[in-house]
Structure 1
Amino acid sequence: MNKRFAYLIIASMVLGILVGWGCNQFLDAEQAKHAAKWFSMGTDVFLRLIKMIIAPLVLTTLIAGIAHMEDAAAVGRIGAKTMGWFVSASAVSLLLGLVMVHLLHPGAGLNLAEVSATGAAPAAATTDAFTLQGFLTHLVPVSIFEAMAKNEILQIVVFSLFVGTAVASLDKKAPQVLELVEQGAQIMLKVTGFVMKLAPVAIFCALASTIATQGLSMLAVYGKFVLGFYATMGTLWLLLFVAGWLVLGRRVIPLFGAIREPALLAFSTASSEAAYPRILDVLPKLGVRRRIVSFVLPLGYSFNLDGSMLYCTFATMFILQAHGVHLSIQQQIFMLLLLMVTSKGIAGVPRASLVVIMATLTYFGLPETWIALVLGVDHLLDMGRSATNVVGNSVAAAVVAKWEGEL
């Protein structure tokens, strides 16, 4: 069934590209734009369904996972190991992006006169929350109902940590509450199964919409930038594989095989959230204990966005290169530290990487409208970084499980 579903996803991708190309070639610009709107509606409905289930899924699975741990000390120990891996992976992702952008120089010789008309930065984007004080304050929910209504994953994680730890520390484990949470988790996993059956349709719609309006030529406009980013992303995947091999041994091979389908889903929909339910289902089948998966994954979706961090560094330096701006070594190091902090609160924010890049440009006194340079291909690159986020979090869950003897 899983293999058939993977083939169905690939077929949807190919068909989406072909239909999108046909609309782009044989319809006039206005008709193609109108067709793209109808296609994008399919993707929007699917992503809304995903967002509908994310909050209750994270809440129930995380509380249940923590509550089954021996005590609060186990929560702290696993949390420390998880965050240690996340910080290390984040540092490697940011540094790799910086090194590769210097080696490849994707922004050198770019004709800015052509891209100046691609559009301005989104008016609704704001960088106010991307400060250390704003981030720390934002961690704690005013109300769990408000956090769930707004899909604030980070706040739901904090609330779930408190509730799960409280249940774990009780002598009798609050059996009725625990049973209710576990039943809620099972129901949400079943609902997730229903929603995921629509994934191939969403993938077809997403690609058809993009290609219909921008055409296959969008791949050539910023070819050097796109290819450079994907080469850098491939290098990061290789590093994640090697790191996984060092900890997991040969078990890293079936791990990468199993997460192929979730990664394809994240790539096609440009949403790592879309793949979350699939990873939650796949990893326990590989022997990763569900309580570890339920603990590590929600944290990973808030703290371990490897692909997004890689993109933030690569795209920021690309924009600076294209405009002939040079940063000193000290400024580049500070930029990495700034991105390390600001990237930790971007989970669930639409096109959050663009907001982080804008915040970085503003901090260095540069026009935030320069973000327009990457808007044209951002969706294509969002596909790659979403898939990378899925791979990074899956490896993290397996590694922490191995360290805990839960694999």
Structure 2
Amino acid sequence: MTERTERSEGHEGMPSQLSSDKTGTPVTLSHDAQAPAGEVVLEAVGLTKHFPVRPPLRTLFSRKRDAVHAVDDVHLTLRRGRVTALVGESGSGKSTVARLLAQLYPRTGGDIRLHGVTTTVKGGRRFREYARRVQMIFQDPFASLNPVHTTRYHLTRSLRIHGNAGSTPQELEDALAGLLNRVSLTPPERYLDKFPHELSGGQRQRVAIARALGANPEALLADEPVSMLDVSIRLGVLNLLRDLKERLNLAILYITHDIASARYFADETMVMYAGRMVEGGDSETVTQSPAHPYTRLLIDSAPDPDRLTGLADVDAEDRGNGEPPSLIRPPSGCRFHPRCPHAMPRCSIEMPVPLPIGDRPGHWAACWLYDEASLATTASSPNGREELS
């Protein structure tokens, strides 16, 4: 049973430490913190995930099967020494993308590439090799830690599974102390023998981060790592992740629904709506000059003192009223068009493609407002410029 499983994993699983690309040339998977900054570590190309829905009895024998279109055609690149933020409201598919990249879910379509090499793992040794390079930090630190085990147990298990525990008890103790020092839980002996319920929320999340670092990964997938924490300690955890990114040359995917924190923490921001990417670019540009109507809606939803006092000039029709669409039967064309105040007839028919905005290099939006034909039509209308401003 084990032999057959490993043979199957060797055929479909991730490449070993030294593998070959499509041309047969050996490719070494870099695992060095001194590797050049900006090196591509992990890529998602056309990533797609559909969850099948259990059919009702009346359609049990029908050939048609419904599915939740959780993620469709997502393209994402994680680079060393950079943070990429994935922003969107609840239910937009952000966490599903993280779990797909962590290979916790099998993908319906698309490709996941680790250092340019396609990877598909289904458990066992191959999954362990992949997890050694790509680690995930979950949203709720209390749920991700076993309540009946101490900090020492969680960190020791991580170190031993990934071969970083050393060969003597003293080397293990040094490794444990090093992990806790790295996440600013000092002195280490104060925290090693504590259970999760004896720690604060911020301390638990730091233990979870230390557990992920026990694998010595190249990429961290942080799924809303501060949303379960008190506002007063969120900044400390974000600063910790930023420090780890710079010191260890990590590639970080930061998932959040708070676009303001993305501007502070991330180098690049990608906006997601109803399972699809709608805008991307450097964080400063996306947050200060949003192009897609949905991105503007996210920014307008943040608290604004001027808006509360009535000083801001807010047009009620630009609020994007309405509910997110059903992902079992998503709307045709642009998925945001039922809520979009600038929707055109074309938006309900054709799926928009990523279009360059032109204000900054790399800034794009999947919106027909920025198609040349639509721009010409809008510019010729009396209030066209106002609609695009």
Same fold (TM over 0.5): no
Structure number with the higher strand fraction is 2
Tell me the TM-score normalized by structure 2: 0.26
Tell me the TM-score normalized by structure 1: 0.25
* Larger relative contact order (CA 8 Å, sep ≥ 6): 1
Structure number with the higher helix fraction is 1
